[in-house]
Structure 1
Amino acid sequence: MSSAVSPDAMIEQLTITPARKLTGQVSDVLKTLSPGDFATQSCNALDLEFSGISGDRHGGFTRKSGGREPWYPRGTEMCNERQVSILCPGELALVAQRMELETVEAAWIGGNIVLEGFPNLSLIPPRTRLVFDGGTVIRVDGDNAPCRVAGRSIAAHVPGRDGLDLLFPKVAKRLRGLVGYVEKPGTISAGESVTAVIPEQWIYNPA
């Protein structure tokens, strides 16, 4: 016999955090110079299509699965929900402090958009819509788990420090920003305002 809570009872027990909106600003936009690059460079503007940032390493409608998707054989083609990497200065500064570095730059770890004005950016929930003043919309897939690839890129910019590739994944969990995909194409520039449209939230507990 199933012990699952009935739908009515479960809904009555839910604690729902209402939807809300937060406003911030774009402080930098960056992209790779070629698809083979990991590190990004600041640019005048980002042109986003439904496939992501044209020419960027993470562009495309699909991508190959990796260590983040152990439920698929590595290299399986899947939808690309990781078209754009979104970071914030406060979290980067905290990561740098934990790594005992003067700085960790968004460009070093492949960031595409740097946003200010959103506390705890990496904890913004999935399904949030980032609506930019120019009309572009990015849908948040979730937080970006830190990896050794980004750690190795940091190490390449800090000669003389061993072990940074392993240290970064340990200290940057839930501080490495967000990943998302293009819901509405357009152009994003530094200085532009952006509104995070955060959906209702609740904890799903079927027991």
Structure 2
Amino acid sequence: MDLPLTRLDPEPEIYPARKLLGRVEGTFVAPFDHFVTSPAEGLELGLEGIEGDFHAGPTRRSGSREPWYARGTEMRNERQLSIVAPDELALIARAMGIAEIRPEWIGANLVLSGVPQLSMLPSGTLLFFKGGVTLKVDSQNGPCRIAGRSVAEHAKMPDHEAGALAFPKAAKRLRGLVAWVEKPGRIAPGEDCSVRIPEQWIYQS
């Protein structure tokens, strides 16, 4: 006779799936030779990412974020788009003692408002845009000194190296998200976005 299975470890607390509504405040594209972006009338998205963008492509080369691979190893590109929130950029700027941080300075492609704590959205969150595009969140976008130096230079901070060092601390868990294209199409400023957060739990072994 088969006996019912009994878990010996406690069941994790499950947080139910949720839906939120956001709005596209800006769209930006980077040229092939640099990560800093420029305002665009919209984003033309294929399965490889934004057409003509610095981070477009089905694959990318590994870097410092993937120490388990030799640097330069070809891997899937889960970082096709960078998404930020205006309220979080304001918090970073305040922490760095500067007037503002513009999304293009740190290579953002998409500015999304109306979503509380955007940077804390979990991996697997789906972003459904009214125009038909679907993006899937991979992870938080960890702040780095390269973006920090760009901020320091654009904000005309007196000490660029100090600004580069300050940014990773000020922007921790506020620097937005990276995502990839699940369903292609076009995203335009002013467009609504349905944010679908999956079930969440803390894994404890």
Same structural fold, with TM-score higher than 0.5 when normalized by the shorter chain: yes
Give, as a single letter, the amino acid of the residue that structure 2 aligns with 1:22. L
State how many pairs are aligned.
199
Q: 1:147 to 1:9 in 2, by over 3 A?
A: same
Q: Establish whether residue 60 from structure 1 lines up as the match of residue 57 from structure 2.
A: yes
**TM-align CA RMSD:** 1.2
Q: Establish whether residue 197 from structure 1 lines up as the match of residue 196 from structure 2.
A: yes
User: Which of 127, 150, 153 pairs up with 2:150?
Assistant: 153
Q: Deviations for 1:52-110, whole angstroms, at most 9, x for unmatched residues?
A: 00111111000010011111111111000000000000000000000000000001000
TM-score of the superposition, structure 1-length normalised?
0.93
TM-score of the superposition, structure 2-length normalised?
0.94
Q: In the alignment, which residue of structure 1 is the partner of 2:131?
A: 134
Rounded Cα–Cα distance in structure 2 between residues aligned with 1:161 and 1:82: 32
User: Which of 99, 104, 118 pairs up with 1:102?
Assistant: 99
Q: In the alignment, which residue of structure 2 is the partner of 1:123?
A: 120
1:158 Cα deviation from its structure 2 partner: 2.3
Rounded Cα–Cα distance in structure 2 between residues aligned with 1:159 and 1:182: 35
- Could you list the runs of 5+ residues in structure 1 that have no partner in the other structure? 1-5
Q: Check conservation: 2:48, 2:57, Cα contact below 8 A.
A: yes
12-21 or 41-50, which deviates more: 12-21
1:38 Cα deviation from its structure 2 partner: 1.6
1:160 Cα deviation from its structure 2 partner: 4.2
After superposing on structure 2, the runs of 4+ consecutive aligned residues of structure 1 that deviate more than 4 Å are none
Q: Deviations for 1:90-149, whole angstroms, at most 9, x for unmatched residues?
A: 000000000000000001000000000001000000000000001100000011000011
User: Which of 15, 18, 25 pairs up with 2:16?
Assistant: 18
Q: Check conservation: 2:141, 2:178, Cα contact below 8 A.
A: yes
Q: Check conservation: 2:101, 2:155, Cα contact below 8 A.
A: no
Identical aligned residues as a percent? 51
